[in-house]
Structure 1
Amino acid sequence: MPIECLKIYGGEENTISFLKNTMCNWNTILTSSGIRLAEVNIKRGIFQGNSLSRLLFAVAIVPMTKVLQKMDDGYQLKKRGNRINHLMFMDGIKLYGKNIKEIDTLIQTVRVVSGDIRMEFGIEKCASVNIQKGKITGTEGIKLPDGSNIKHIDGTGYKCLGIMEGA
């Protein structure tokens, strides 16, 4: 995933070659109570836990941001102000729209682009909240083409980066 993005954005060939050769050898050691249990090879994705991986993730997610920024969907905070339709945090994304139709369009866009850049989103970690005039209103969640459902958050709120929101 980050290799393709580095190529698209004109990354140096020696850097790309180094990353290709390094990433295929990524591994980690599983321990429990200080006892070494096993060595595990990382076969896909970006290895978590080091500063290089955070940079690679940021490079890999740029295509998603570029596509979302070009869309007309989103929420405008002020008249003639900038439109916002997403915020990204570490390995998460929040989507913003004026209505359910816009949110659905943004979700479908994220789903398609995710497939294009070979990134998987954990649907079990996804949720939706519908706020109208400052109050949470109920929905039945959002149905995805594969039949899975993004659950709706009720008035109890949710935690994002350890901070309670929407309550």
Structure 2
Amino acid sequence: MLTTWKLLLGIVADQLEKHMSHYMTSAQTGMGSNTRGAEHQLLVDRTICQDSSRRHTNLVMARIDYKKADDSIPQSWILECLSTCLNPLSNMLEKTQYRYQFKSGTKKNHLFYMDDIKLYANKERDIDLLIHFTQVYSKDIGMTFGGLKRPNGTIKDLEEGYKYLGIMQSNINPEAKERHKAITEYKKCLRQILRSQLNAKNQVMAIITYTLPVLRYQAGIIKWTEEAIKETDIATRKLLTLHGAPHPKSTTRYY
């Protein structure tokens, strides 16, 4: 019964995705089967920040997190959006003239992923208007902001970091700190698995399923130095040997 239910949900989700893919805006391309999900949005965000830093152009940002989005949005509004094939908020923001512009001429003023919205503009006044539009629209459909993070001034003034989709955002390079945090969490998960009573096969499957994603999520977003990769590799081998994962007389690598 469980397998049948999963197959049915998969079929419905596939058909729904094919139907809605024609109406999703470019700001929501992180959602779908042919994207990298949140990583896609983070890469776009990183590109915008790097472009502004490289060209020394103004970039004002605001990050909005909806409060209990799954519970607060009216079901009638979901049905209305599906029946009319509309994505009102994203379409409304894209029609405004307030946005950040790349050297190539490409323009972007927001990214939308699940209940997180990040807004971009060149001026303080423009970002204020984008926030106002989003707030008015959200109020009309019964949703409220759970959090609004807006750095003071331009990106050059951003010193205190904040998280966007699990990755620290800051003008001060946070990559070393993020790498250290990821490696610490990775080793913690690895120890828990190696201390379990799982056999060798299931330990490997658990490491692949639960431990490696801790590093894999950030691998494409922040830069990993060769030294950091080697240190992580050495730490992994030490933990495996310490917990007796490789056979004492084995001449082959465990991974």
TM-score, length-normalised on structure 1? 0.51
Cα-to-partner distance string for 1:108-166 (whole Å, 9 max, x where unaligned): 100111112221111xx21112564x512xxxxxxxxxxxxxxxxx5021112221111
Which one of 156, 159, 163 corresponds to residue 135 of structure 1? 156
Higher strand share: 1
Contact 2:124/2:153, CA 8 A, preserved across alignment: no
Cα distance, 1:161–1:80 mapped onto 2, change above 3 Å: closer
Task: State the one-letter code of the partner of 1:77.
Answer: F
Listed as ranges, the matches of 1:2-151 within 5 Å are 2-10=75-83, 62-81=87-106, 83-122=107-146, 125-130=147-152, 132=154, 135-136=156-157
Structure with higher helix content: 2
Q: CA RMSD in A?
A: 2.4
Q: d(CA) in 2 for partners of 1:161 and 1:119?
A: 20
CA–CA separation in structure 2 for the residues paired with 1:75 and 1:163:
21
Cα distance between partner residues in 2 of 1:112 and 1:86: 16
For residue 159 of structure 1, give the secondary structure of its aligned residue in structure 2: strand
Task: Report the count of equivalent residues.
Answer: 98
> Which residue number corresponds to residue 14 of structure 1?
none
> For the structure 1 residues 102 and 3, does the alpha-carbon distance in structure 2 shift closer, same or farther, using more than 3 Å as the test?
same
Residue in structure 1 matched with residue 35 of structure 2 by the alignment: none
CA 1:7 to 1:159, structure 2 compared with 1: closer, same or farther past 3 Å? Answer: closer
Matched residues, percent identical?
Answer: 37
Runs of 5+ consecutive residues of structure 1 not aligned to the other structure: 12-58, 137-153
Change (3 A) 1:126 1:86: same
Three-state SS of the structure 1 residue aligned to 2:83 is: coil
Q: Which residue of 2 aligns with 1:157?
A: 161
**Structure 2 unaligned spans of 5+:** 1-73, 173-255
The residue type paired with residue 104 of structure 1 is: D
Q: Report the alpha carbon displacement of residue 4 of structure 1 after superposing the two structures with TM.
A: 2.6
How far apart, CA to CA, are the structure 1 residues paired with 2:81 and 2:149? Answer: 32
The structure with the larger Rg is 2
SS in 2 for 1:118: coil
> Residue by residue, what CA displacement relative to the aligned partner does 1:30-73 show, whole Å, maximum 9, x if unpaired?
xxxxxxxxxxxxxxxxxxxxxxxxxxxxx89x211111011110
- The one-letter amino acid paired with 2:151 is V
- Supply the distance in 2 between the matched residues of 1:158 and 1:109 (Cα, whole angstroms): 23
